[in-house]
Amino acid sequence: MQFAFTPEEILEILGEGQTEGNTEEKVVGIASLDEALPGDLSFLGNRKYRKEVSLTKASVVLLPDDFVGSPRENQIFLRISSPSHALARICEYIEEKTWHGPAVGIHDSAVVDPSATIDPSASIGPLCVVEADTNIGPGTVLEAQVFIGHATQLGRDCWLKPHVTVASHCLIGDRVRLHSGVVVGSDGFGYSTIEGKHLKEPQIGRVVIENDVEIGANCCLDRARFSETRIGEGTKIDNLVQIGHNVVTGRHCLIVSQAGISGSTTLGDHVIVGGQVGMVGHIKIGSGSRIGAQAGVNCDIEPGSYVTDTPAYSYIQARKIEVLKRRLPDLFKRVANLEELVDAQ
């Protein structure tokens, strides 16, 4: 994505900040302190990197208000309340400036059922399919090749990337982002086994995604057996995550890549689920809990807990036991030695 800003334009985007020094460079890139070159903007997001500020070649450096130090020649320090937020605002600005989504309206090549209600400010991109009795809210964008099934509703200002599938009868709130390959509303994995054969339990519930949720590429969210699977407001899900039928997550959870949550398990608010975590079905994860990467959770977790390992238990205890586990060769020797001594006595 190509751009070129003067330091003055950056101040204008941010609407705040104090500059020190000056530069003849335009900002044409963004990079971390140690990788930045002349022409780059950089930032001190975490104080542990503060020693890198004096070494950076960046032309413009975003720094906290109280940062002590001075810019090099041909370099600007820009002091601001939160460098991370300032960077986010600049990135948003660039994202908007370089945005090339489909035009407002329905692309000629899209297949849209006449009974679909599509707000005039929505964009339905090329080769999308929108089935009957659907509702697409204002400002919502379906990029190319998206599928929206029968009777599904999307709120306002959603953004669905190419190749997203939202199956029938689902309910999507406002400002929801679904990345490419996401499948919302696949059947839950439910069978009754009779004489060794697995009889399908029809899955006739729906998926509800509340406002401000973002879901990463190639995630799968199964519809409920009946009633609903629900993703709480503001929850963010990374790529390749599996959400089983009738799972309910609270608000503002973070679920990292390749985690899997089995059927009917519920998460409280502000739960953090590490990458590749697995959870059995029908358990409750308390609000504010944190599950370490690759853990396997097979029982309820108290609010505010931090657990890891398979099966999962206290993170601190698990770390201690991990250390002792690695000292087993020594322990076996010590016990053998004791046996010899005792035998000799």
Q: Which residues are tagged catalytic?
A: 245
Select the residue interacting with a second copy from 50, 156, 187, 315 (CB under 8 A). Answer: 187
Complex with a second copy: residue 189 or 306, whichever CB lies closer = 189
CB of 341 to a second copy, least distance (A): 5
Q: Which stretch binds a second copy (CB under 8 A): 13-21, 50-58, 60-68, 175-183?
A: 175-183
Residue 330: half-sphere exposure toward Cβ, Cα within 13 Å: 5
Do 23 and 59 meet the contact criterion of CB atoms below 8 Å apart?
yes
Cα 264 from Cα 284, distance rounded (Å): 9
Cα 269 from Cα 253, distance rounded (Å): 6
Does residue 161 bind a second copy (CB under 8 A)? yes
CB of 127 to a second copy, least distance (A): 6
Q: For the packed helices 83-97 and 7-14, what is the interaxial angle rounded to 10 degrees? A: 100
Q: Is 158 helix (H, G, I), strand (E, B) or coil?
A: coil
Q: Which stretch binds a second copy (CB under 8 A): 12-20, 26-34, 61-69, 71-79?
A: 26-34
CB of 8 to a second copy, least distance (A): 21
Encode 17-52: b = buried (16+ Cβ within 10 Å), e = exposed.
bebebebebebebbbebeebeebbbbbbbeeeeeeb
Complex with a second copy: residue 69 or 105, whichever CB lies closer = 105
Select the residue interacting with a second copy from 222, 229, 273, 305 (CB under 8 A). Answer: 222
Do 158 and 141 meet the contact criterion of CB atoms below 8 Å apart?
yes
Under DSSP, the state recorded for 301 is B
Does residue 51 bind a second copy (CB under 8 A)? no
Report 189-208 residues binding a second copy (CB under 8 A).
Answer: 189, 191-192, 194, 196-204, 206
CB of 22 to a second copy, least distance (A): 23
Under DSSP, the state recorded for 50 is G
Does residue 275 bind a second copy (CB under 8 A)? yes
Select the residue interacting with a second copy from 13, 28, 280, 283 (CB under 8 A). Answer: 280
